[in-house]
Structure 1
Amino acid sequence: KTIIFRLMDKEMYFAMRKDSQNLVVDRGIALHKMIRLVTAATAGDGYLNFMGNEFGHPEWIDFPREGNGWSFKYARRQWSLPDNPDLRYGGLEAFDAAMVRYFRSKRILSEPPEIIYADEEKKVLLFKRKSRIFALNFNPTGSFVDYAFDCPRGTYEVVLSTDERAFGGFGRVTRGERHESLADGRLSIYLPSRTAFVLEKKRK
């Protein structure tokens, strides 16, 4: 099974329409983007994505063999899914494209990642790479206002967010938002539940 199918299981077959309200699908889509972001952002020298995973393909690949009666049923990828405006696959594909484009243009993988803070209780992970700050809140219900941590003084801008509406999110954190460091040198941010975003320090 693909990772998104493990997250959503049978719900993928009837609740992937944009007009559907399904907590399992909402959870799966949010975590799928977060998993891909943290995987790519902590990778060594590259990021390899299984074909179709960039938009959350709902099924596995199973080529004809004796064990499946030489069936071609699952020997396919449904490339049309993200092109259907009524379904939520397009948002997943748009996020993957934006993430890869940003990582490539800024050469994010050219420097190693460094942990800033790992909060086991609140399920929050903060780390930096190539002077960018990656903020991830895996908490299923807790959103944290004024979550503060140490970082170099300056102005930071959100340059990528899993919660963008264009990516199938809820728009709680969007690109372009800016945060000023506090007088004590810490940065205070809003961390919505099941959301991840990248902060980039702006030059004066």
Structure 2
Amino acid sequence: MLDQFTLSYREYGVHLNADNSITCLEWCPGVQGLSLVGDFNNWNPNSHSYDELEFGKWKLEIPPNEDGSPLLKNGVVYKIAVKKNDQIFEKLSPWTTYVEKAKTNISVMVFYHPQQPYQWRDHPEQPYLPDNNRSLRIYEAHVGISSPEGKVNTYRAFADDLIPRIKKQGYNCIQLMAVMEHAYYGSFGYQVTSFFAPSSRFGKPDDLKYLIDEAHGAGLIVLLDVPHSHPKNVEDGLNKWTCDDGGYFHSNARGYHSQWDSRLFDYTNLETQRFLLSNLRYWQEEYKFDGFRFDGVTSMLYHSHGLGDCFGSYDDYFGLNTDTDSVIYLTLANYLIQKYHPGSVTIAEEFSGMPALCRPIEEGGQGFDYRLAMSLPDMWIKILKHQQDEDWNIADIVTTLENRRYAF
């Protein structure tokens, strides 16, 4: 059951079958109807309507054309028309795998099925996965800003120009930021709108596969930055998919992060769990990522999102402020990542020092391999740039270096 549940990305969304028929499946509760619209039917919301199933699910089967070709050709632009309160709203499927900006600057789904699928290479040496006696040396990278020419760089240019340099400098791991499609480029990818779509700003999906293939050929691990904590609150994506504040998110004030201007997932919702856990497996199985850096974990762990908390005692970690729904989700995510891809690396961006964050799940921990010590770079930059050697405060340095609790 878990296997099928976490492979839901193969069923949900819009899929081309071997006989050139097309199957569409969505979860969209509380609406009057769904239909597929695009250039192929002159954007007519009455042309290709979904059938309503149980539990808020909708399904559409489209047979091949008379000549045997699929209705949706590679590169065709389309959206899903959602009807609610007798109004039609054009939306992106939560499960869409490729999104582009149209000339009107509105995001549209693109049916991406090249005639020849990407052929992964067999590498004689698999990427180095460290054991407990060795450490990762991580090169954090944003593909778009990696060019010295002052332009938005591409996946392929990064692979050809940067990977040899990264390898030569002694790194054994690349952490890629801003891969999932996001509405605002300046957010560094932290306001995701389409979780299954690699950003089209840097190239096609196969270009990202080429980058990862080249990195593996150089013996490098590739980690994906995963913002499962705060998707963007614009309608040009997952937000308001059901034409209200609910869907995959909490429908009340708990569903909004006021400081980050973003939405917050309802981790108790079965369909949210399906979506997020399938998302992790999708990136590992379709793109061969070796693991993840989970962004904003502190914000997930506490109802206060860690804002204004001092974390001076164990009471600050284990109390009513702890968001147990998020703790359970993160633990389950780590369990499934290791179950289906043993040896994967998971890193938590977490600054509170939550005890047992990186202890094994069977010991009661959450199962992360590493905790990203966010404050260390800031501390060293501040000291080296702005303080004389004799002004260094050793007590402050030790406190920052030891910012974690026993059983960490």
| TM-score of the alignment, normalized to the shorter chain, above 0.5 | no
Q: TM-score, normalised by structure 2?
A: 0.21
Q: TM-score, normalised by structure 1?
A: 0.34
